[in-house]
Structure 1
Amino acid sequence: MVQLAVAKDLRCLLDTKDFIDIILSVRGAQLNAHRVMLCTCSPVFRAVLSHDMKEARESLMEIPDLEPTVMLKMLRYMYTDRVHVPSDMTEQLLVASDKYRLQCESDVARQVTVGSAADIAACAVVHSCRFLQKVYVA
């Protein structure tokens, strides 16, 4: 019960502008975030935001290679440890989670359909998703 309350509180934190300290600019969309969440969940964000880099100084990080909807799903996962993945977004989310070294593969695996299993298996191999490789390739 406590875990659900914390996840709900963190989701609310993402949905409001309270204590925002970084903006993710994703193909023109401005997504609000908190450095502590990004750095806790992703070693890639941690590397960028914990050093004297332009993104850390300006509190603005450009992410040109993701769709805003994919980045928002990734943020939801980072804040709540859960993600609902529409079938047309599965591969994009796996690519993004690989790039930022997130571990959302088990949530993705629960949502794969018979029709998408082969594509997900191929994506798992290309993006070194070990958990998904064990589930779909083995």
Structure 2
Amino acid sequence: MAISRSENMRRIRGKDTKPEIIVRNILRSLGYPGYRLHRRDLPGTPDIAYIGRHKAIIINGCFWHGHDCKKGARKPKSNQDYWLSKISRNKERDGTNQTALSNLGWKTLVVWECELKEQEQLSTRLREFLA
């Protein structure tokens, strides 16, 4: 039996996603515990925040946030007007939130879903960002 579009969308979580958990595991293995999750008092509710360092890590799905990789450049097959508009709004909101964080003195790092395939490179990026 095929899953309806609305049922599929209901299954997509916003917190504790697989990419988020992978990044958190890498951070702990690098010796950077002590982060806070989904701080609602910060613009855009960053996925991971190091309060004392004023550094935030945002983990984005390539398709949902319009990344320029193969998965992000894929066009939706149905209801294109709606989805392309939604992705465009997501990108605009992401930029606004990162600017707001910067204005508050925060540095941000965006981790894309496609980067999880190369965990050594991602580990290096995370280490350099937090150093």
| TM-score of the alignment, normalized to the shorter chain, above 0.5 | no
TM-score scaled by length of structure 2? 0.26
Larger helix proportion, structure 1 or 2?
1
